[in-house]
Protein backbone atom coordinates (compact mmCIF):
# COMPACT_ATOMS: atom_id res chain seq x y z
CA UNK A 1 0.00 0.00 0.00
CA UNK A 2 2.87 2.35 0.85
CA UNK A 3 4.67 1.59 -2.41
CA UNK A 4 1.40 1.93 -4.35
CA UNK A 5 0.89 5.40 -2.87
CA UNK A 6 4.48 6.31 -3.79
CA UNK A 7 4.08 5.09 -7.37
CA UNK A 8 0.75 6.89 -7.79
CA UNK A 9 2.23 10.19 -6.64
CA UNK A 10 5.37 9.83 -8.75
CA UNK A 11 3.14 9.21 -11.78
CA UNK A 12 1.05 12.28 -10.95
CA UNK A 13 4.20 14.37 -10.62
CA UNK A 14 5.58 13.04 -13.90
CA UNK A 15 2.35 13.89 -15.70
CA UNK A 16 2.36 17.38 -14.17
CA UNK A 17 6.00 18.06 -15.17
CA UNK A 18 5.38 16.68 -18.67
CA UNK A 19 2.49 19.12 -19.00
CA UNK A 20 4.66 22.12 -18.09
CA UNK A 21 6.78 23.44 -20.95
CA UNK A 22 10.17 25.00 -20.29
CA UNK A 23 8.69 28.52 -20.05
CA UNK A 24 6.02 27.42 -17.56
CA UNK A 25 8.72 25.65 -15.53
CA UNK A 26 10.22 29.09 -14.84
CA UNK A 27 6.96 30.40 -13.33
CA UNK A 28 6.60 30.78 -9.56
CA UNK A 29 3.90 28.72 -7.80
CA UNK A 30 2.75 31.97 -6.14
CA UNK A 31 4.19 35.52 -6.26
CA UNK A 32 7.72 35.52 -4.80
CA UNK A 33 7.68 31.77 -4.10
CA UNK A 34 9.58 28.80 -5.59
CA UNK A 35 9.64 28.33 -9.34
CA UNK A 36 8.56 25.06 -10.97
CA UNK A 37 12.15 24.33 -12.01
CA UNK A 38 13.37 24.67 -8.43
CA UNK A 39 10.75 22.25 -7.07
CA UNK A 40 11.55 19.89 -9.97
CA UNK A 41 15.26 19.88 -9.05
CA UNK A 42 14.42 19.69 -5.34
CA UNK A 43 12.30 16.55 -5.80
CA UNK A 44 14.94 14.95 -8.06
CA UNK A 45 17.69 15.62 -5.49
CA UNK A 46 15.62 14.35 -2.54
CA UNK A 47 14.46 11.23 -4.40
CA UNK A 48 18.01 10.58 -5.65
CA UNK A 49 19.03 10.29 -1.99
CA UNK A 50 16.57 7.46 -1.27
CA UNK A 51 18.57 4.45 -2.66
CA UNK A 52 21.46 5.21 -0.29
CA UNK A 53 19.02 5.37 2.68
CA UNK A 54 17.59 2.00 1.63
CA UNK A 55 21.06 0.55 1.10
CA UNK A 56 20.31 -0.39 -2.52
CA UNK A 57 22.36 2.14 -4.46
CA UNK A 58 24.04 5.51 -4.42
CA UNK A 59 23.13 9.05 -5.43
CA UNK A 60 23.45 9.71 -9.18
CA UNK A 61 23.60 13.51 -9.00
CA UNK A 62 25.12 14.60 -5.65
CA UNK A 63 25.91 18.00 -7.24
CA UNK A 64 22.16 18.83 -7.22
CA UNK A 65 22.09 18.95 -3.39
CA UNK A 66 23.91 22.29 -3.28
CA UNK A 67 21.49 24.20 -5.49
CA UNK A 68 18.21 22.36 -4.77
CA UNK A 69 18.46 21.30 -1.12
CA UNK A 70 21.04 23.45 0.67
CA UNK A 71 20.04 26.68 -1.09
CA UNK A 72 16.64 28.27 -1.59
CA UNK A 73 15.38 29.12 -5.09
CA UNK A 74 17.03 31.99 -6.98
CA UNK A 75 20.42 31.57 -5.27
CA UNK A 76 23.53 32.65 -7.16
CA UNK A 77 24.37 29.03 -8.04
CA UNK A 78 23.97 27.92 -11.67
CA UNK A 79 20.87 25.78 -12.32
CA UNK A 80 21.07 22.79 -14.74
CA UNK A 81 19.01 23.05 -17.93
CA UNK A 82 15.40 21.87 -17.73
CA UNK A 83 16.19 19.27 -20.41
CA UNK A 84 18.99 17.82 -18.26
CA UNK A 85 16.65 17.78 -15.25
CA UNK A 86 14.01 15.91 -17.25
CA UNK A 87 16.65 13.26 -18.05
CA UNK A 88 17.73 13.09 -14.40
CA UNK A 89 14.11 12.68 -13.21
CA UNK A 90 13.72 9.61 -15.43
CA UNK A 91 17.03 8.05 -14.34
CA UNK A 92 16.34 8.64 -10.61
CA UNK A 93 12.87 7.09 -10.70
CA UNK A 94 13.89 4.15 -12.86
CA UNK A 95 16.73 3.42 -10.40
CA UNK A 96 14.26 3.68 -7.52
CA UNK A 97 11.92 1.10 -9.08
CA UNK A 98 14.89 -1.24 -9.55
CA UNK A 99 16.06 -0.60 -5.99
CA UNK A 100 12.61 -1.32 -4.54
CA UNK A 101 12.61 -4.71 -6.27
CA UNK A 102 15.81 -5.66 -4.46
CA UNK A 103 14.13 -5.46 -1.02
CA UNK A 104 12.20 -8.34 0.55
CA UNK A 105 9.17 -7.62 2.77
CA UNK A 106 11.29 -8.17 5.88
CA UNK A 107 14.01 -5.82 4.65
CA UNK A 108 11.49 -2.99 4.31
CA UNK A 109 11.08 -3.19 8.09
CA UNK A 110 14.83 -3.11 8.76
CA UNK A 111 16.70 0.05 9.80
CA UNK A 112 17.42 2.63 7.12
CA UNK A 113 21.09 3.52 6.74
CA UNK A 114 20.92 6.86 8.60
CA UNK A 115 19.78 5.36 11.93
CA UNK A 116 22.22 3.74 14.39
CA UNK A 117 21.68 0.19 15.71
CA UNK A 118 21.19 1.55 19.23
CA UNK A 119 18.56 4.09 18.13
CA UNK A 120 16.77 1.52 15.98
CA UNK A 121 16.20 -0.75 18.99
CA UNK A 122 14.42 2.14 20.70
CA UNK A 123 12.72 3.46 17.54
CA UNK A 124 11.92 0.51 15.25
CA UNK A 125 9.67 2.69 13.10
CA UNK A 126 12.83 4.30 11.65
CA UNK A 127 12.86 1.64 8.96
CA UNK A 128 13.08 1.67 5.18
CA UNK A 129 9.33 1.63 4.59
CA UNK A 130 8.95 4.72 6.75
CA UNK A 131 11.32 6.60 4.42
CA UNK A 132 8.81 5.99 1.61
CA UNK A 133 5.83 7.10 3.73
CA UNK A 134 7.63 10.36 4.54
CA UNK A 135 8.94 10.98 1.04
CA UNK A 136 5.46 10.41 -0.46
CA UNK A 137 4.00 13.05 1.87
CA UNK A 138 6.86 15.40 0.97
CA UNK A 139 6.09 14.85 -2.71
CA UNK A 140 2.35 15.48 -2.13
CA UNK A 141 3.17 18.72 -0.32
CA UNK A 142 5.07 20.10 -3.31
CA UNK A 143 2.59 18.65 -5.83
CA UNK A 144 -0.10 20.80 -4.21
CA UNK A 145 2.07 23.85 -4.91
CA UNK A 146 3.07 22.83 -8.44
CA UNK A 147 -0.59 22.38 -9.35
CA UNK A 148 -0.95 26.17 -8.94
CA UNK A 149 1.35 26.94 -11.91
CA UNK A 150 -1.15 25.98 -14.65
CA UNK B 1 4.08 4.36 11.11
CA UNK B 2 1.03 5.27 9.04
CA UNK B 3 -0.81 6.63 12.08
CA UNK B 4 2.33 8.50 13.21
CA UNK B 5 2.53 10.20 9.80
CA UNK B 6 -1.17 11.11 10.04
CA UNK B 7 -0.78 12.57 13.55
CA UNK B 8 2.32 14.54 12.57
CA UNK B 9 0.56 16.12 9.60
CA UNK B 10 -2.62 16.90 11.55
CA UNK B 11 -0.45 18.64 14.17
CA UNK B 12 1.34 20.62 11.44
CA UNK B 13 -1.99 21.65 9.97
CA UNK B 14 -3.36 22.64 13.38
CA UNK B 15 -0.31 24.80 14.06
CA UNK B 16 -0.62 26.42 10.64
CA UNK B 17 -4.34 27.20 11.08
CA UNK B 18 -3.73 28.51 14.63
CA UNK B 19 -1.12 30.87 13.17
CA UNK B 20 -3.55 32.29 10.60
CA UNK B 21 -5.90 34.92 11.99
CA UNK B 22 -9.41 35.31 10.60
CA UNK B 23 -8.30 37.96 8.07
CA UNK B 24 -5.43 35.79 6.80
CA UNK B 25 -7.85 32.86 6.51
CA UNK B 26 -9.68 34.84 3.81
CA UNK B 27 -6.52 35.19 1.70
CA UNK B 28 -6.03 33.05 -1.42
CA UNK B 29 -3.07 30.64 -1.50
CA UNK B 30 -2.20 32.12 -4.93
CA UNK B 31 -4.00 34.72 -7.10
CA UNK B 32 -7.46 33.41 -8.06
CA UNK B 33 -6.99 30.12 -6.15
CA UNK B 34 -8.64 28.67 -3.03
CA UNK B 35 -8.79 30.75 0.13
CA UNK B 36 -7.45 29.45 3.45
CA UNK B 37 -10.98 29.20 4.84
CA UNK B 38 -12.08 27.01 1.94
CA UNK B 39 -9.18 24.58 2.40
CA UNK B 40 -9.85 24.60 6.16
CA UNK B 41 -13.49 23.62 5.61
CA UNK B 42 -12.49 21.15 2.89
CA UNK B 43 -10.08 19.31 5.20
CA UNK B 44 -12.64 19.30 8.05
CA UNK B 45 -15.33 17.85 5.77
CA UNK B 46 -13.01 15.19 4.29
CA UNK B 47 -11.62 14.16 7.68
CA UNK B 48 -15.12 14.13 9.19
CA UNK B 49 -15.97 11.42 6.65
CA UNK B 50 -13.21 9.07 7.85
CA UNK B 51 -14.94 7.50 10.93
CA UNK B 52 -17.80 6.23 8.74
CA UNK B 53 -15.27 4.67 6.30
CA UNK B 54 -13.53 2.98 9.24
CA UNK B 55 -16.87 1.88 10.71
CA UNK B 56 -16.16 3.59 14.04
CA UNK B 57 -18.53 6.56 13.93
CA UNK B 58 -20.54 8.89 11.78
CA UNK B 59 -20.07 12.30 10.21
CA UNK B 60 -20.59 15.21 12.62
CA UNK B 61 -21.13 17.93 10.03
CA UNK B 62 -22.62 16.42 6.83
CA UNK B 63 -23.81 19.91 5.85
CA UNK B 64 -20.17 20.91 5.16
CA UNK B 65 -19.96 18.52 2.18
CA UNK B 66 -22.12 20.77 -0.01
CA UNK B 67 -19.99 23.89 0.31
CA UNK B 68 -16.51 22.38 0.86
CA UNK B 69 -16.50 19.18 -1.21
CA UNK B 70 -19.22 19.37 -3.87
CA UNK B 71 -18.64 23.05 -4.67
CA UNK B 72 -15.44 24.93 -5.47
CA UNK B 73 -14.42 27.97 -3.40
CA UNK B 74 -16.43 31.19 -3.77
CA UNK B 75 -19.68 29.42 -4.68
CA UNK B 76 -22.95 31.12 -3.83
CA UNK B 77 -23.45 28.87 -0.77
CA UNK B 78 -23.10 30.45 2.69
CA UNK B 79 -19.82 29.60 4.46
CA UNK B 80 -19.81 28.90 8.25
CA UNK B 81 -17.91 31.39 10.43
CA UNK B 82 -14.19 30.75 10.90
CA UNK B 83 -14.83 30.47 14.65
CA UNK B 84 -17.35 27.68 14.07
CA UNK B 85 -14.93 25.94 11.72
CA UNK B 86 -12.18 26.10 14.36
CA UNK B 87 -14.55 24.35 16.80
CA UNK B 88 -15.46 21.73 14.17
CA UNK B 89 -11.78 21.03 13.40
CA UNK B 90 -11.15 20.20 17.08
CA UNK B 91 -14.22 17.98 17.38
CA UNK B 92 -13.47 16.07 14.15
CA UNK B 93 -9.86 15.32 15.09
CA UNK B 94 -10.64 14.41 18.68
CA UNK B 95 -13.31 11.97 17.40
CA UNK B 96 -10.76 10.55 14.95
CA UNK B 97 -8.23 9.86 17.74
CA UNK B 98 -10.96 8.10 19.72
CA UNK B 99 -12.05 6.14 16.65
CA UNK B 100 -8.49 5.02 15.88
CA UNK B 101 -8.21 3.59 19.40
CA UNK B 102 -11.23 1.37 18.77
CA UNK B 103 -9.45 -0.55 15.98
CA UNK B 104 -7.16 -3.52 16.58
CA UNK B 105 -4.12 -4.11 14.32
CA UNK B 106 -6.05 -6.77 12.41
CA UNK B 107 -9.05 -4.49 11.90
CA UNK B 108 -6.85 -1.88 10.22
CA UNK B 109 -6.28 -4.44 7.47
CA UNK B 110 -9.98 -5.21 7.04
CA UNK B 111 -12.12 -3.71 4.26
CA UNK B 112 -13.21 -0.10 4.63
CA UNK B 113 -16.97 0.44 4.49
CA UNK B 114 -17.07 1.77 0.90
CA UNK B 115 -15.67 -1.40 -0.69
CA UNK B 116 -17.81 -4.49 -1.42
CA UNK B 117 -16.85 -7.97 -0.13
CA UNK B 118 -16.36 -9.18 -3.69
CA UNK B 119 -14.04 -6.29 -4.61
CA UNK B 120 -12.10 -6.62 -1.38
CA UNK B 121 -11.16 -10.23 -2.20
CA UNK B 122 -9.62 -8.98 -5.45
CA UNK B 123 -8.20 -5.76 -3.98
CA UNK B 124 -7.20 -6.40 -0.34
CA UNK B 125 -5.27 -3.11 -0.22
CA UNK B 126 -8.64 -1.31 -0.04
CA UNK B 127 -8.50 -1.56 3.73
CA UNK B 128 -8.88 0.89 6.58
CA UNK B 129 -5.18 1.63 6.92
CA UNK B 130 -5.02 2.59 3.25
CA UNK B 131 -7.67 5.27 3.89
CA UNK B 132 -5.23 6.91 6.32
CA UNK B 133 -2.30 6.67 3.88
CA UNK B 134 -4.39 8.41 1.21
CA UNK B 135 -5.89 11.02 3.52
CA UNK B 136 -2.43 11.93 4.88
CA UNK B 137 -1.17 12.57 1.36
CA UNK B 138 -4.28 14.60 0.62
CA UNK B 139 -3.60 16.68 3.75
CA UNK B 140 0.06 17.15 2.75
CA UNK B 141 -1.02 18.33 -0.71
CA UNK B 142 -3.16 21.12 0.74
CA UNK B 143 -0.64 21.92 3.50
CA UNK B 144 1.87 22.76 0.78
CA UNK B 145 -0.63 25.28 -0.60
CA UNK B 146 -1.66 26.71 2.77
CA UNK B 147 1.99 27.36 3.63
CA UNK B 148 1.97 29.97 0.83
CA UNK B 149 -0.51 32.24 2.65
CA UNK B 150 1.97 33.57 5.26
- What's the ipTM? 0.96
B137 vs A9, A29, A33: nearest CB = A9
Q: What is the pLDDT of residue A48?
A: 98
Contacts of B5 in chain A (CB under 8 A): 133-134, 137
B52-93 tens-digit pLDDT: 999 999 999 999 999 999 999 999 999 999 999 999 999 999
Any alpha helices (H) in A59-112, and if so which ranges? 64-65, 82-101, 105-108
User: Which residues, given as ranges, of chain B have pLDDT below 70?
Assistant: none
Q: What is the pLDDT of residue B66?
A: 97
Torsion over CA: A54, A95, A58, B141 (sign): negative
Contact B141 A143 (CB under 8 A): yes
- φ/ψ region of A32 (left if φ > 0, alpha if ψ in -120 to 50, else beta) reads left
Contact B148 A30 (CB under 8 A): yes
Q: In the 8-state DSSP scheme, what is residue A78?
A: P
A1 vs B5, B9, B125: nearest CB = B125
* pTM over the 0.90 mark: yes
Task: State residue B61 phi and psi, 5-degree precision.
Answer: -130, 65
| Residue closest to B137 by CA, chosen among A60, A5, A97 | A5
Q: CB neighbours of A120 closer than 8 A, spacing ≥ 6?
A: A111, A126, A127
Contact A141 B138 (CB under 8 A): no
E strand or H helix that includes residue B18: helix B2-18
| Residue closest to B73 by CA, chosen among B20, B26, B117 | B26
A5 vs B134, B142, B143: nearest CB = B134
Per-residue pLDDT of chain A (150 residues; tens, 9 = 90+): 999 999 999 999 999 999 999 999 999 999 999 999 999 999 999 999 999 999 999 999 999 999 999 999 999 999 999 999 999 999 999 999 999 999 999 999 999 999 999 999 999 999 999 999 999 999 999 999 999 998
Contacts of B142 in chain A (CB under 8 A): 144
Q: Please state the separation of Cα B85 from the chain's center in Å.
A: 13
Contact A145 B145 (CB under 8 A): yes
End-to-end C-alpha distance for chain B, whole angstroms: 30
Amino acid sequence: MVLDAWNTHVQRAEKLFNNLNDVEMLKEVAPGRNRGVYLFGHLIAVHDGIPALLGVGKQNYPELNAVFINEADKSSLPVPSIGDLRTSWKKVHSDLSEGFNKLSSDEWFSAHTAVSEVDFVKEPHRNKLNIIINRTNHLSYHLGQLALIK
